[in-house]
Structure formats: C-alpha cells, structure tokens
Chain A
Amino acid sequence: MLKETTQAVIEVCELKKAFADYQALKGISFTVNAGEILALLGPNGAGKTTTINCLLGFLQPDSGTVSIGGINVQHDVVRARQQLAYIPEQVALYPRLTGLENVSYMSQIAGISLSRNEYRALLEKVQLPAHAIDKAISTYSKGMRQKVGIAIALAKQATALILDEPTSGLDPSASYEFSQLLGQLAGQGVAILMATHDLFRAQEDAHSVAILNQGQLVHRLQGQDMQDVQLESLYLQHIRREALC
C-alpha cells in the first residue's frame, strides 16, 4: 500500500552536464516522493545513466543540484549515498560468496549490522529460493541476483532506491516477481527511481513517468494520467518528434 506522503526524497533541479562538446543533460528537474515509483524512460543516449551517475555522485554536474533525502550529493556524497540503495542492470556481487554472505558483507560494509538470521529472513522476504541462499552467487540467475540486490536495499533501510534497467534480461515471471518487490518497497515509503526501456513494466509499476530525450525532460505523467494514456504511443510520439526536429 502506497504511503500517503508528498515528501520529496529524490530531488533533481536544473541539472546540466556536458561531455566535451556533447550536452548530455540540458537542465532537467524532477522529484520522487516517498512511496513513489518514477519510471525514467528514454532511448539510448537520452541521459538516463548520466542522471543516475549524478545522483550517485559518480559525476559532478556542471550546474544544478541533486539531493537525496535532503542531502546535497555534491556537498556530502558519502552521507547522501548512505540514504540510498542502487541496483544496476547487472547487480555486482562477489561470485565466490553465497547470497547470504553477500547480503551480510555489503550491509556490514555500509554500516548495517544484523544477525545472520535477520539477513536470511530478508533473502526469504525477497523470495530467493531457500536452497539458493547458501549457494555461491556464481550459480545464480540474473533474477536471483536482482533479489539479492533488493535484500541489500532492505537491510540498509534505504529511503531511496535507484534502479538502472532492472528488468532487462529477466524472464516474464522473474520480471513480475521483481515488480511485486518494488511495489512492497514503495509501500514502505521508499522513493524509487527506475530508468528503463520496458514500457510495459513502467506502466504497470510506476506511479509516474518522465520521458527523457536528448538531455531534456520532454514529458511527465502522473496519477490519473497514467491510467488514461497509451504510454507506448506517447513515448514514440515524443521520440520521433525530437528526432525530426
């Protein structure tokens, strides 16, 4: 159940970033509130990953601000990162450690200390098969690795979750399970930003959608609009229009 709140957790304001002559972001602004799932849509090169890298503090914006939980990322990157969990397309884990050991290690390194049973309970909560919990990550499928990523986010009790193409390469069943987990997290008040190409999952899971093209936010859909619109045609309409321009 979505927590009723309008508190902005992820805030992006007039963000600009250029790489040499190429203007990757041209002053985009958006917010993600607690309990909200925002799908950031856009073709390759639209600026989705650049936006995420600015949010994670791996890129320094040329101008504008980004903040997580009210903490300006440029000013205090470590504290800002402590507020969030990040799940990339390929969740990077230690292949020789088990799922349980990975969750335990990643959490402890981030300063979260739970008991072994609590870590196990988190992995069970994200529906990782019981027989896999004590197996090496190298034997895991992509979907299972995503679940471990979610378990780490749960352990951390992050207020913001940033996902980069999370459902890419997942089979429909795994993709569905993953969406369920996202819904649960949003229900607990976590602000979720999900960069994706998956229009179906975006329409199914997200509470709002932002379409990014050539470094600009070209459309934002929220609330009731999400139900009434054909997202695919809207998306294509924007992308083609920009391409023609």
Chain B
Amino acid sequence: MLVEMLKKEWLESARQGQLGWVGITLLILLLAALASGWYTSSEQQSLYQDVTNAERHRWLHQGEKGPHSAAHYGVYVIKPSSHLSVLDPGLSEYQGKVLRLEAHKQNDSLFRPSQDSIAMQRFGQLSPAFVVQMLMPLLIILMGHALLAAERQQGTLRQLLASGVSTAKLMMAKGGTLYLTTMLFAAPVLLFALYSQVTASQGQGGRTLLFISGYSLYLFIWCALTLLLSSWMRTPRQALVWLLAIWAVSSLLLPRLAMTSATDQFPIQSGREFAAKLESEIYTPERLQAIQEFKQNTLQAHGVSSTDELPFDWSGAQLQFGEQYSDQVFDRLYGQRAVLLNKQTDAYQSAAVLSPFIALQSVSMAASATDLRHHQLFEDAAEQHRRVMQATLNNYQRDHAKQSQGAFQAGQSLWEQIPAFSFSYPRIGPLLGHYLTPLLSLATWALLLLIALCFAARRLQKEML
C-alpha cells in the first residue's frame, strides 16, 4: 500500500507543480548550506593544521630570552572542528576558535561580548542544521497538511474507507509516505553525517549516531503531528493554519521566550564586568599579604633572612605563587559564572518539553560539539595547558636563574619541555546526562504522537464522514 500511495502522492504533487518547486528550493538551500559548510570547514581544517604547526614552530624558535618574557610571549591555541560541525556550526562562530595563553591572563575568550548571552539565542545562520530544523517542518506541513483533510473534504476518504481499507493501515501508509519523502529531502544531511564519520577520530561514532537519531526523530515528530492534525481537521486549510501556528510558536516564539526567561532567571555579568571583578579580586591587599606570608614562610623554611640568601631564584618562586593565587580567584569566579551559564542553558533546554525545535537544537549542537558545554571543555583544557606552561617556565626560572651571571635567559631546550597543545572532543556517552531533558523530550513527543495517531485511526474508523 505504501508504494501505491507514494506513487499517487508523487503524481499529484508533480501535477500540482507548486509543491515540487518548494521542495526543489529547499533542496537547493540545503545543498548550498552543505557546500558552504564543507568549504568553510575544509578551509578551517587546513588553517588549523597550518597555524598549529606555525605556532609550534614560532614557540620553539623564539630564541633565547627570560622564561617570564617567554610566558608573556605566549602561544595561540586553536579549537579543532568536530566532524559534524560542517552540518551544525552551532555557536562556534560566536565563541571564537583561538585562545592566547600567556602569563597572568586566564581565558581571554571569556571577555568577548558574544559570550555574555546564552548561545541558543543566535540562530538564523544558513547551515544544514538550520534548514532541517527550521525550514524542513514547513515542507512537511506543506506536503502533509492535506493528506487526510483533503481526502475528507473531497470525499475520497469515505470512498477509501468504504472500500475496506483499515484506517490504521491507511494512516500508516500516509504517514510512511510523508516520512519517506521527508527523509529523502533530509538524506544529503544524514548521508553527509555518515560520510564524515569516516574522517572522524576514533570514538566519535556515538556523536554521529546521536545526530542521525535526533534528526530522524525530529522529522518523525513533525510528520506525525502533521498527519494527526490532517486527520482531525475538516478541511486542509484548517489543518494548514493550525500547523503553521504550532510551527511558529514552537520554532520561533518559544525559543525566544525560553531564552529571555533563562537569562532573566540567571543573569550573568558582562565580560567586561567579569574582567573588572576578577582584577579587583586578584590585585588586593590580601594578595600582597599572602605574598608576604609566602616570603616569610620560605625564608623561615630555609633558615635565611633575605631572598638573596635563598638557594633558588626568588622571583621565579614568587611568579609561580602569584599565578597560583590568581588561578584560585579565577577558578572561584569562573566557576560561579560557569554554573550560571550552565543553569541558563539548562533552563533553556527545559523548554524542550514544549518545543521539539529546542530539543533538537540542543541535541544537534551536543552531537556536533558546537555548544557552550563543549566550548567550556576546550577552554578548560586550554587553561590547564596555560597553567602547565606557566609552572614549567616559572619553576625553571626559580631553579636555574640563581646560577646565571647577568640577565637569565633560557633556550629551545626549555621551550621543548612544554608540550604542544592538543585537544580532542570526548566521547558523547559520558556527557549525555547533560542533555537528558532534550533527549527525553524528543522521545516523549514521538511516543505521545504515535499513541495519538493510534487513537486518531480508531476514531476515523467510526467517524461519520
């Protein structure tokens, strides 16, 4: 029955013409978004390799200089792209991909204005994810709103039912036809996800699976909802109006409301305010007192009365102490800010219960590693690398500067002790706990709609047409 229905729907659509053009336009948009994403990603990937290599070369060949000068000379680290970021760049365009790691400065990306608001508010860029999340439901509505409502209006539904077709089979065939056609349109994105898995690093299969499952479920939800409304409404026009209203509310209005509510509930300081607060809490009389205490304790431990008498270079030790002191302040303030940001994200994600769009948006960015949480993982890794780098340089100065005559300088052998920065995205499995609300929402929507379709089929069987 599915094949016959597919053939008939295809014939009718082809003869109607308009729907075909809408589908072709959407397909062109999707392919354009894919091509553009592929081009940008390839360019970024090649740039990532070139810049990473050049940066390592610059670091190793910076010449002889004081370790603290090298700490300020700094290095740039680049966030790698995940294999699915071509399909869903998510927030990566706004969060920045390059961090400068230098002495006394933790996480410079934090001070970018784009981080001041939760990420989900930025949507609208033409990516394959945007086309499927936002525009594909419109195609489903256009293709499916009349599936049963038009049959009812023109009397063919009565004719079909009178010929002994079971409504359950009829609805399954109609739904199957709609879903299959939708998946054909979405195929370029899903096939690309599979293809990109080939180039992905090991352990990323879960991300591809999550991505494909999430989108398949989302499109199923829209197909089921469209079929349900089409079976309820007396005319195709009624079904169309209701479906467009649901689309507008769930995909346009609710995300905005959820975002506003989340930022109102958990307000965060702007990057500038945070930077000012960080500075004001680091460079305090308490810090000077702590350094003084550290100095006294160190002198006492070595049984000497001045830093010149210490067996090591005091400035190196003091620099490292200062770094550790400011790291503690940073960890406390950044931790508070991260908690708020994550609460904002969680509050936004809780609206997934009402909007499959929000649910899929969260799942898609999670699978593509382009959401705030994954950016934080990169920032944390970069910050840990910065700390290792600072500790290595400061401790080297502490241990070796005393023996030198004149200005102390270090060379390539020290620079080589600092490993190249390397970051790869973790497996998605352990992170799934953060995405339970959107994941369960998608599954619950699909299940509830399936149940509603079963009831609709039973109701249709006995309906006085």
**B-binding residues in A (CB < 8 A):** 53, 56-60, 77-86, 88, 90-97, 101, 105-106, 108-111, 136, 152, 156
Q: Within B147-177, which residues are at the interface with A (CB < 8 Å)?
A: 154-156, 158-166, 170
**What chain B residues lie within 8 Å of A77 (beta carbons)?**
461
Report whether A109 and B464 are in contact in the complex, using a CB–CB cutoff of 8 Å: no
* Cα A30 to Cα B312 with chains together (Å): 115
Q: How far is the CB of A24 from chain B (nearest CB, A)?
A: 12
Question: For the complex, would chain A's binding face be called helix, strand, loop or mixed by DSSP majority?
Answer: mixed
**B414 lies within 8 A of chain A by Cβ:** no
- Offer 6 A-B interface pairs, CB within 8 angstroms, sorted by A: A56-B161, A88-B159, A94-B8, A94-B12, A96-B11, A96-B15
Report whether B162 and A56 are in contact in the complex, using a CB–CB cutoff of 8 Å: yes
Q: How far is the CB of A38 from chain B (nearest CB, A)?
A: 18
12 more A-B contacts (CB under 8 A) besides A58-B462, A88-B159, A152-B163?
A: A58-B161, A78-B164, A81-B164, A86-B163, A88-B155, A88-B158, A91-B159, A96-B16, A97-B12, A106-B160, A108-B4, A110-B164
> Closest residue of chain A to B8, judged by CB?
A105
Report whether B162 and A90 are in contact in the complex, using a CB–CB cutoff of 8 Å: no
**What chain A residues lie within 8 Å of B164 (beta carbons)?**
78-84, 110-111
Report whether A58 and B463 are in contact in the complex, using a CB–CB cutoff of 8 Å: yes
Report whether B8 and A92 are in contact in the complex, using a CB–CB cutoff of 8 Å: no
> Closest residue of chain B to A60, judged by CB?
B462
Report whether A81 and B462 are in contact in the complex, using a CB–CB cutoff of 8 Å: no
**What chain B residues lie within 8 Å of A105 (beta carbons)?**
4, 7-8
* Cα A82 to Cα B461 with chains together (Å): 14
Q: How far is the CB of B55 from chain A (nearest CB, A)?
A: 63
**What chain A residues lie within 8 Å of B159 (beta carbons)?**
86, 88, 91-93, 106
> Closest residue of chain B to A78, judged by CB?
B166
Report whether B8 and A81 are in contact in the complex, using a CB–CB cutoff of 8 Å: no
**What chain B residues lie within 8 Å of A57 (beta carbons)?**
462
**What chain B residues lie within 8 Å of A96 (beta carbons)?**
11-12, 15-16
> Closest residue of chain A to B163, judged by CB?
A110
> Closest residue of chain A to B14, judged by CB?
A96
> Closest residue of chain A to B158, judged by CB?
A92
Q: How far is the CB of A157 from chain B (nearest CB, A)?
A: 12
**What chain A residues lie within 8 Å of B450 (beta carbons)?**
none
**B454 lies within 8 A of chain A by Cβ:** no
* Cα A93 to Cα B463 with chains together (Å): 20
User: Do A58 and B465 form a contact, CB below 8 Å, given A96-B15, A108-B1?
Assistant: yes
**B5 lies within 8 A of chain A by Cβ:** yes
Report whether A106 and B158 are in contact in the complex, using a CB–CB cutoff of 8 Å: no
As a 0/1 sequence over residues 1 to 45 of chain B, the CB contacts with chain A under 8 angstroms (1 = contact) are 100110110011001100000000000000000000000000000
Report whether B16 and A92 are in contact in the complex, using a CB–CB cutoff of 8 Å: no
* Cα A218 to Cα B134 with chains together (Å): 63
Report whether B162 and A86 are in contact in the complex, using a CB–CB cutoff of 8 Å: yes
> Closest residue of chain A to B5, judged by CB?
A109
Q: Within B161-198, which residues are at the interface with A (CB < 8 Å)?
A: 161-166, 170
> Closest residue of chain A to B165, judged by CB?
A109
**What chain A residues lie within 8 Å of B158 (beta carbons)?**
58, 88, 92
Q: How far is the CB of A93 from chain B (nearest CB, A)?
A: 7
Report whether B4 and A92 are in contact in the complex, using a CB–CB cutoff of 8 Å: no
**One of A58, A90, A94 near B464 (C-beta < 8 A):** A58
* Cα A130 to Cα B459 with chains together (Å): 41
* Cα A81 to Cα B11 with chains together (Å): 27
Q: How far is the CB of B251 from chain A (nearest CB, A)?
A: 31
* Cα A129 to Cα B8 with chains together (Å): 23
* Cα A93 to Cα B158 with chains together (Å): 11
Report whether B464 and A53 are in contact in the complex, using a CB–CB cutoff of 8 Å: yes
**What chain B residues lie within 8 Å of A53 (beta carbons)?**
464
> Closest residue of chain A to B463, judged by CB?
A58
Report whether B11 and A109 are in contact in the complex, using a CB–CB cutoff of 8 Å: no
Q: How far is the CB of B282 from chain A (nearest CB, A)?
A: 74
Report whether B163 and A97 are in contact in the complex, using a CB–CB cutoff of 8 Å: no
Q: How far is the CB of A103 from chain B (nearest CB, A)?
A: 12
Report whether B8 and A101 are in contact in the complex, using a CB–CB cutoff of 8 Å: yes
* Cα A90 to Cα B164 with chains together (Å): 19
> Closest residue of chain B to A101, judged by CB?
B11
> Closest residue of chain B to A82, judged by CB?
B164
As a 0/1 sequence over residues 223 to 259 of chain B, the CB contacts with chain A under 8 angstroms (1 = contact) are 0000000000000000000000000000000000000
> Closest residue of chain B to A85, judged by CB?
B163
**What chain A residues lie within 8 Å of B465 (beta carbons)?**
58
Report whether A81 and B161 are in contact in the complex, using a CB–CB cutoff of 8 Å: yes
**What chain A residues lie within 8 Å of B170 (beta carbons)?**
109
Q: How far is the CB of B390 from chain A (nearest CB, A)?
A: 73
* Cα A218 to Cα B274 with chains together (Å): 92
**What chain B residues lie within 8 Å of A60 (beta carbons)?**
462
**What chain B residues lie within 8 Å of A136 (beta carbons)?**
15
> Closest residue of chain A to B173, judged by CB?
A109
* Cα A173 to Cα B313 with chains together (Å): 117
* Cα A96 to Cα B461 with chains together (Å): 26
> Closest residue of chain B to A109, judged by CB?
B165
**What chain B residues lie within 8 Å of A56 (beta carbons)?**
161-162
* Cα A109 to Cα B463 with chains together (Å): 19
Report whether A95 and B162 are in contact in the complex, using a CB–CB cutoff of 8 Å: no
Report whether B162 and A94 are in contact in the complex, using a CB–CB cutoff of 8 Å: no
**One of A78, A93, A108 near B156 (C-beta < 8 A):** A93
